[in-house]
Structure 1
Amino acid sequence: MRQRLPSPFDPARRRGLAAVAVATLCVLGATAQAAPPSVVPLDVDVSVPPAVIRSGEMRHFLYEMRLSNFASREIALAQLDVVADDGRLLARFAAPDLAGMLAVPGQAAGTPSGRLAPGSFGTLFIEVQVPVDAAPPRVLSHRLSIAGPPDADPSRVQLDGPRVAVAPSSQVVVLGPPLKGGDWLVANGLSNDADHRRTQVVLDGQARIAQRYAIDLVKLDAGGRAFKADATQNAAWAGYAEPVLAVADGAVVSVREQLPDNTPGQLPEGRISLDTIAGNAVILDIGQGRYVTYGHLIPGSVTVSPGQTVTKGQVIGKLGNSGQSDAPHLHLHVADAPSPLAAEGLPYTFECHRPRGTVTSLEAVMEGKPASRSSKDHAPRSDQLPVDNDVIAFCE
């Protein structure tokens, strides 16, 4: 005989379910009173975890937070706190800071507002610095506040989260020198507002930052000048034709050759495309999903070909001024795909370099004046990355 299963509509079962529901609501009610959920209508996402990059006496954590406004009203960002897993307040960004950190697609550069229109989204570029003598955080927590009435309930103006795990140190690759000796000015280097850092590119339906940790290296001569005599001649620049070196053992993935050098101080002739933006370029596969891009080499100077293996320190080309470039320099970055732009930028440091000061005015250097530098200890630094406008010499 077939046994009848109890129906959820049986009166006795309904009474049992009701009792369970009342008990559950009591528990939930107690939880809600203890910690009411935030109703701030922002979706918050950190898709690429921060890595720890040391430079001098500070550890740098660079990452991006995507904010999507699900409300039918404008939202103004008021404050962001970044807290370590042990409860330490690592950084507090006020409304003016957030206005400069927020990039909204379609918004003209140089017009920061710190506001998100209804149904829009933006990217919050974040940099947290922690002294090396303090314990490095393993997890970063966030409290984001938005503008509202002074008597607003916290649940309507504060949002806790997300908790973001810091990438393990093993994900930071250590590179050999890409150039010999010095002095080399690090332009558009490690910082939260460098052009490289803020360049998001949408390719194949995905927005990425291939140049998250990219640097440009411009040579200074013994007098601290980037060039002498006629600045419109590439040969007048101190770094022009310097040998460019493989930063690790690896294999050549791609080579772009025969693009002309530009006239310094002028925009490139012809239209720049995705294929020519890096100029004459070499991309090396150095293993474990890491690819090194070298850009703006001299036409005809590349000494390697696709498929060829290279060893660390091997000459692969010469520093030039091709592609999207207005002065001789070497562009360098590491990414997770063999493409100058269709990739996510990955963290790296250099095996050894010596700090040689920090330039106080990049504009003066580009005008041919001797670099005015703040003083720094010249002791060698290992497994570190110089910050924007540092001057360095690579260890021999």
Structure 2
Amino acid sequence: MSRCSPVTSGAARPGAYRRIVAIVAGGAALLLAAAGVPATARTAGPAGVEILETGVLAAPRPVPGSDDRTHLVYEVVLRNVSADPVHLDRVEVQEPDRTEPVAVYDSRAIERVLLDPEARTFSRTLAPGKSGSLLLDVTVAAGARVPARLSHRFEVSGAAERTVRGAATEVDRREPLRLSPPLRGDGFAVYGCCRPPFVHRLALMEFDGHTFAAQRYAIDFVQTDGGVGSYTGDQDRNENYFIFGEGVRAVADGKVLAMRDGVRANTPQKLPPRTGPGDLTGNFVIQDLGGGAYALYAHMQAGSVRVKPGDRLTRGQALGLVGNSGNSTEAHLHFHVVDSPGLPLGVAGDSVPYTFDHFRIQNRIAGLDSEPEAPVRVAAPPAPDRTGRYPLTGDVIEFR
């Protein structure tokens, strides 16, 4: 995950937002490629010809978002096992014993969410032998009943025009973690989950034969000036970025498992020269939150990390300062929670959903999913305070 802001103090730079998207890049991750899909079920076409393998990477776990909807965020992994291209024309997310689908993706929507993990591009067509991942975000109104199980109905053409079913999954009904904010202040723009433009969900990784979406709920925090700018003056100076030097705080009680300090800062808006797995997180802290959850705070300033392995942290304790180290192109804090510490990087585990105790939506940045990007500030919702919610991409928030 490096952070390349969609906007600057002046005009937006078309294409910059999508160009740099994940803390793990290059040789650090083996993207699904030819590895098959998890929990597979095969679907056959006419005359018993097999068409697709289908599976779900991890059971969705409900998380309440800042839009006052409950989000089920998960990946349906598909592999074309036929000899011909397969085109996905329609996907229905279904609940057993319910007539109407929970959600529907038409061909246009599929074009935006079916990821080719090798090319990191989107298309609704799977070539023979190729895999793809549907990056789904199914929502229900806040307070509404959340399905206990989901299944999927695929209308396909190409190898055969037919309807196939698969990728059944339980819904993990555990509550998300409730955390304190990792920052204090206002103007923090959120680049995280859950819909296009995808910031971190492209980073599907394989380690030791297991596939993870460690950054499903990861957030990059940058700080704005009340509009859409993240710095003032010369963009090549880290100290000109509003968030540079902001204090990073522990989101909960828990022990430090790993940390690193001493990695030099990058020159902003330039791709860092380091590409090895050990370089990606820069200066970081990994914290055990208990209950099988582990927090990663990444890209901090050299010389600022105040904790060491074995230290027992208290909620709100100072950890260090926001910087621009590791695989980063702009000062920001990368934060995520996973179900395995994944030492030394903190990315070899599946993403765990979380909410923050309280934040206020100051405004939103719209236009991030247009082509080219056209970011613009829009007003906050009429009731801007949020308690026990996950902030969504485009929110500009205040942490008290």
Q: Please, what TM-score do these two structures have when normalized by structure 1?
A: 0.81
- Aligned residue type for 2:397: I
Greater RCO structure (CA 8 Å; 6+ sep)? 2
In structure 1, distance between residues paired with 2:326 and 2:172: 33
Could you tell me which residue of structure 1 aligns to residue 347 of structure 2?
A: 341
Report the identity percentage.
34
| C-alpha RMSD of matched pairs (Å) | 2.6
Could you tell me which residue of structure 1 aligns to residue 250 of structure 2?
A: 246
> Are the aligned partners of 1:189 and 1:388 in contact in 2 as well (CA < 8 Å)?
yes
Could you tell me which residue of structure 1 aligns to residue 148 of structure 2?
A: 138
Matched, 1:380 2:392: no
> How do 1:1-396 and structure 2 match up within 5 A?
41-55=51-65, 56-85=67-96, 86-106=98-118, 108-110=119-121, 112-132=122-142, 134-147=144-157, 157-170=162-175, 172-221=176-225, 225-268=229-272, 270-339=273-342, 340-361=346-367, 372-394=377-399, 396=400
> Are the aligned partners of 2:57 and 2:211 in contact in 1 as well (CA < 8 Å)?
no
In structure 2, distance between residues paired with 1:370 and 1:53: 26
In structure 1, distance between residues paired with 2:217 and 2:353: 6
In structure 2, distance between residues paired with 1:40 and 1:129: 32
User: Aligned-pair distance for 1:203?
Assistant: 2.6
In structure 2, distance between residues paired with 1:69 and 1:344: 25
Greater mean deviation of Cα atoms: 376-385 or 294-303: 376-385
User: Aligned-pair distance for 1:46?
Assistant: 0.9
> Are the aligned partners of 2:113 and 2:135 in contact in 1 as well (CA < 8 Å)?
yes
Q: Please, what TM-score do these two structures have when normalized by structure 2?
A: 0.80
SS of aligned partner of 1:210: coil
- Aligned residue type for 2:90: Q
User: Aligned-pair distance for 1:169?
Assistant: 3.0
In structure 2, distance between residues paired with 1:354 and 1:43: 43
Q: How has the CA–CA distance of structure 1 residues 189 and 70 changed in structure 2, closer, same or farther, with 3 Å as cutoff?
A: closer
For residues 129-185 of structure 1, what are the alpha-carbon distances to aligned partners after superposition, in whole Å with 9 as ceiling and x for unaligned?
222253322222211111169xx8xxx711223332211133x11111100121210
> Are the aligned partners of 2:247 and 2:321 in contact in 1 as well (CA < 8 Å)?
yes
> Are the aligned partners of 1:262 and 1:322 in contact in 2 as well (CA < 8 Å)?
yes
| Higher-Rg member (1/2) | 1
> Are the aligned partners of 2:86 and 2:158 in contact in 1 as well (CA < 8 Å)?
no
Gap runs ≥5 in structure 2: 1-45
> Are the aligned partners of 1:130 and 1:136 in contact in 2 as well (CA < 8 Å)?
yes
Gap runs ≥5 in structure 1: 1-35
Number of aligned residues: 347
> Are the aligned partners of 1:234 and 1:264 in contact in 2 as well (CA < 8 Å)?
yes
> Are the aligned partners of 2:362 and 2:384 in contact in 1 as well (CA < 8 Å)?
no
Q: How has the CA–CA distance of structure 1 residues 317 and 195 changed in structure 2, closer, same or farther, with 3 Å as cutoff?
A: same
In structure 1, distance between residues paired with 2:376 and 2:300: 24
